[in-house]
């Protein structure tokens, strides 16, 4: 890739940042060039973000209809899944899955709530609430 | 001495180059990347990130730091902590002594990253070069300019849990590095890289690429999970730490620098050839992204064939490189 071919596609996913990429200058030397992004990267990052957002939206809907605890929504909103939340809290995965059920969540001890709150970086009281929109 | 931040393509090679340069070493990011034999490939389906397999295009975390330090005749002190408060106290102590300190962190909890780039990846590297009030002054090599981060956020990023948990890891050189790289280190590092890519193991190097190609070829185009799998592959390759093409270009830059120190081995020619291989990785990423976006029909066997072609090219390339040095 030549320096003048380094993509400058203004990826929204870079949030205005520029990333460093190596490319060949006119003298044939590899040099660092700042890039405003490549569309290919935007496509795949957008796909990953979209997957996470739709998981959060589905969990939001489940929590609104009482099928799941709001904890499930907060887990996905923090870009986690049951496996990662289990690793982060130090709990077994099957326990985390169980705690995502509304009736089980309602009986969680303050100590367990605090563990989830720490893992998700939220105040414990917020775990039982939902924002109006996902 | 005031600290000079420099933008880089990859976090670990950029961090270590910035840190050793601060200690007077003549080191660029490509030199650090190549001297530590960081280029590689590993397909690790048993390590899952958000349900998708880990595809690594580089040596394991800290290999670049250790390898570069050795090439410059020094080594690093690594410290981990069981409690965030201890980790912060030690960081403050080292800063007060005038050290610039390297940290391993999660990306997700760093507020200066754009929201769209904050994923749970725990092996990010950055430097802390000062503190003002409650804010740490951060040199993050993947950012163009120095950043600031509040103490509570940095503590969270340092003590994130999960795969590759940093456990508060901080590091700094045990003693001053040499000003110039030990040139006898270059040829062994190049041979090690070539051998890593040619390893006789099914998940590593060009064989790992072929195993991954076989996995891709089995994807069902009608399965809703197939497109995210291919997208994930490209994201691991190009977006996160600039795996495929980016690392080939970075290694080509290293081969050019190595050519100046080891003349007569034809390394400049290898650099030129690797640039072409890197361009082909970009073509691969483009073809995959067009399918993800729906501009072309999802065709897993076609993606697998492109990946096998890359494996074949790299096998030829690294066999020749191994013979040359």
CB within 8 Å of chain B, chain A residues 18-57: 18-24, 28-32, 34, 38-41, 43-45, 47-49, 51-52
Complex ipTM > 0.85: yes
Q: Looking at the predicted structure, is the pLDDT value of residue B107 above 70?
A: yes
How confident is the model at residue B49, as a pLDDT? 75
How confident is the model at residue B288, as a pLDDT? 94
**CB distance A20–B160 less than 8 Å?**
no
Question: In percent, how much of chain B has pLDDT > 70?
Answer: 98
Q: How many whole angstroms separate alpha carbon B163 and alpha carbon B48? A: 9
Find tokens 């414990």 and name the residue: A124
Q: How many whole angstroms separate alpha carbon B313 and alpha carbon B305? A: 12
Distance of CA B3 to the CA centre of its chain: 23
How confident is the model at residue A133, as a pLDDT? 84
For residue A28, how many other CB atoms are within 10 A of its CB?
12
Sort residue B264 into left (φ over 0), alpha (ψ -120 to 50) or beta.
left
Q: Does B275 touch chain A (CB under 8 A)?
A: yes
How confident is the model at residue B244, as a pLDDT? 80
How confident is the model at residue B275, as a pLDDT? 95
Q: How many whole angstroms separate alpha carbon A20 and alpha carbon B41? A: 21
Would you say B149 and B82 are in contact if contact means Cβ atoms under 8 Å apart?
A: no
Spell out the domains of chain A, with CATH numbers in brackets.
Answer: 3-37 (no CATH), 46-128 (1.10.260.40)
The mean pLDDT of B295-323, rounded to a whole number, is: 96
Q: Could you tell me the pLDDT band of residue B240, with boundaries at 50, 70 and 90?
A: low
Q: Does A61 touch chain B (CB under 8 A)?
A: no
Q: Does B314 touch chain A (CB under 8 A)?
A: no
What letter does residue B308 receive in the DSSP assignment? Answer: H
Would you say B277 and B313 are in contact if contact means Cβ atoms under 8 Å apart?
A: yes
Question: And the tokens for A133?
Answer: 């929109």
pLDDT tens-digit series, residues A70-100: 999 999 999 999 999 999 999 999 999 999 9
How confident is the model at residue B105, as a pLDDT? 96
**CB distance A40–B50 less than 8 Å?**
no
How confident is the model at residue B48, as a pLDDT? 81
**CB distance B109–A23 less than 8 Å?**
no
Q: What are phi and psi of B79, to 5 degrees?
A: -130, 135
Between the CA of residue B100 and those of B5, B20, B92, B133, B143, what are the distances in Å?
A: 11, 10, 11, 17, 17
Q: What are phi and psi of B105, to 5 degrees?
A: -140, 170
3-state secondary structure of B168: coil
Strand partners, B148: B137
**CB distance B8–A41 less than 8 Å?**
no
Q: How many whole angstroms separate alpha carbon B112 and alpha carbon B265? A: 44
The residues near B152 (Cβ < 8 Å, ≥ 6 apart) are none
Residue in B170, B175, B173 with CA at minimum distance from that of residue B76: B173
Q: Between B81 and B46, whose confidence is greater? A: B81
Strand partners, B204: B42
3-state secondary structure of B122: coil
Over chain B, what is the mean pLDDT? 93
- Farthest CA pair distance, chain B: 60
Find tokens 């090690």 and name the residue: B192
Residues of A in Cβ contact (< 8 Å) with B108:
78-79
- Domain B11-173 fold is Cathepsin B; Chain A (3.90.70)
Residues of B in Cβ contact (< 8 Å) with A20:
7-9, 14, 141-142, 144
How confident is the model at residue B269, as a pLDDT? 96
**Which residue of chain A is at minimal alpha-carbon distance from B287?**
A40
**CB distance A43–B156 less than 8 Å?**
no
Q: How many whole angstroms separate alpha carbon B129 and alpha carbon B206? A: 39
Residues of B in Cβ contact (< 8 Å) with A76:
none
| Ranges of each domain in chain B | 11-173, 183-324
How confident is the model at residue A68, as a pLDDT? 95
């Amino acid at each position: 890739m030549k320096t003048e071919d380094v993509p400058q596609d203004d990826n929204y996913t870079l949030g205005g940042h520029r990333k460093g990429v190596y490319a060949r200058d006119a003298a044939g030397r590899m040099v660092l060039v700042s890039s405003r992004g490549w569309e290919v990267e935007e496509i795949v990052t957008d796909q990953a973000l979209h997957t996470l957002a739709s998981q959060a939206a589905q969990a939001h809907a489940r929590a609104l209809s009482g099928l799941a605890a709001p904890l499930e929504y907060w887990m996905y909103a923090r870009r986690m899944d049951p496996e990662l939340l289990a690793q982060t809290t130090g709990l077994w995965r099957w326990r985390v899955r169980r705690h995502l059920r509304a009736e089980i969540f309602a009986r969680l001890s303050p100590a367990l709530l605090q563990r989830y709150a720490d893992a998700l970086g939220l105040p414990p009281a917020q775990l039982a609430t939902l924002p109006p929109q996902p | 001495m005031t600290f000079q931040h420099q933008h880089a393509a990859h976090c670990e090679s950029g961090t270590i180059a910035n840190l050793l340069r601060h200690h007077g070493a003549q080191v660029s990011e490509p030199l650090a990347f190549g001297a530590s034999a960081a280029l590689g490939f590993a397909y690790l389906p048993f390590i899952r990130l958000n349900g998708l397999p880990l595809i690594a295009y580089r040596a394991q975390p800290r290999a670049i730091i250790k390898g570069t330090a050795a090439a410059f005749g020094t080594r690093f002190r690594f410290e981990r902590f069981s409690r965030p408060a201890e980790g912060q106290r030690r960081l403050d102590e080292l800063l007060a002594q005038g050290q610039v300190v390297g940290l391993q962190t999660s990306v997700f909890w760093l507020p200066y990253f754009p929201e769209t780039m904050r994923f749970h990846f725990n092996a990010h590297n950055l430097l802390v070069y000062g503190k003002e009030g409650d804010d740490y002054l951060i040199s993050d090599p993947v950012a163009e300019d120095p950043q600031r981060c509040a103490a509570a956020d940095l503590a969270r990023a340092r003590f994130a849990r999960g795969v590759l948990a940093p456990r508060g890891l901080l590091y700094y050189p045990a003693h001053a590095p040499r000003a110039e790289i030990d040139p006898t280190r270059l040829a062994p590092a190049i041979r090690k890289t070539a051998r890593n890519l040619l390893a006789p193991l099914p998940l590593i190097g060009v064989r790992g690429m072929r195993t991954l190609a076989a996995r891709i070829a089995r994807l069902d185009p009608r399965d809703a999970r197939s497109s995210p799998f291919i997208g994930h592959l490209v994201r691991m390759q190009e977006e996160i730490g600039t795996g495929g093409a980016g690392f080939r270009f970075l290694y080509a830059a290293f081969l050019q620098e190595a050519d100046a120190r080891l003349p007569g081995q034809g390394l400049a020619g290898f650099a030129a050839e690797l640039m072409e291989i890197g361009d082909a990785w970009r073509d691969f990423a483009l073809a995959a992204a067009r399918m993800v976006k729906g501009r072309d029909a999802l065709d897993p066997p076609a993606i697998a064939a492109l990946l096998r072609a890359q494996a074949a090219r790299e096998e030829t390339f690294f066999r020749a490189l191994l013979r040359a040095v």
